[in-house]
């Protein structure tokens, strides 16, 4: 493994991988959290 630019390479890789996982987590959680809100509103409207 070449050690020239090793630190910068590692930082770039970590940023990219974290960004990837952040997008995945947002895309997985967004529908779940939004659905909870929508279901709550439906329940509230049906009950009132």
Partner 1 sequence: MSVKKVKERSNSNLKSIMIRNKKDQLDLLKIVKHHLLLTISLIMLIISLLLIIILTSNNLIIWGSPNRIIYTIFFYHVSGAWLSYFSFGISLIFHILYLKSRKNIWINLGKNSILVGVCFSGFTLITGSLWFNATSGDYNNIFWVWGDARQTTTLVLFLSYLSYLVFAKMIEDREKKAKLTALLGIVLFPTVPLSYISTIVFTSLHPLINPTPGEPGNIYWDPLKLFMLFFNLIAMTILFMYIIKELTFLDKKKDELEKIKQIRLLRD
Binding site for partner 1 (CB under 8 A): 1-2, 4-6, 8-10, 12-13, 15-17, 19-20, 23-24, 26-28, 31-32, 34-35, 38-39, 41-42, 45-46
Region class of 6: left (phi > 0), else alpha (psi between -120 and 50), else beta: alpha
Closest approach of partner 1 to the CB of residue 25, in Å: 10
Closest approach of partner 1 to the CB of residue 15, in Å: 7
Token pair listed for 27: 């895309």
């Amino acid at each position: 493994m070449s050690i020239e630019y090793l630190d910068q390479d590692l930082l770039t890789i970590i940023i990219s991988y974290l960004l990837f996982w952040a997008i995945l987590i947002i895309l997985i959680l967004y529908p779940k959290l939004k659905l909870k809100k929508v279901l709550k509103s439906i329940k509230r409207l049906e009950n009132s």
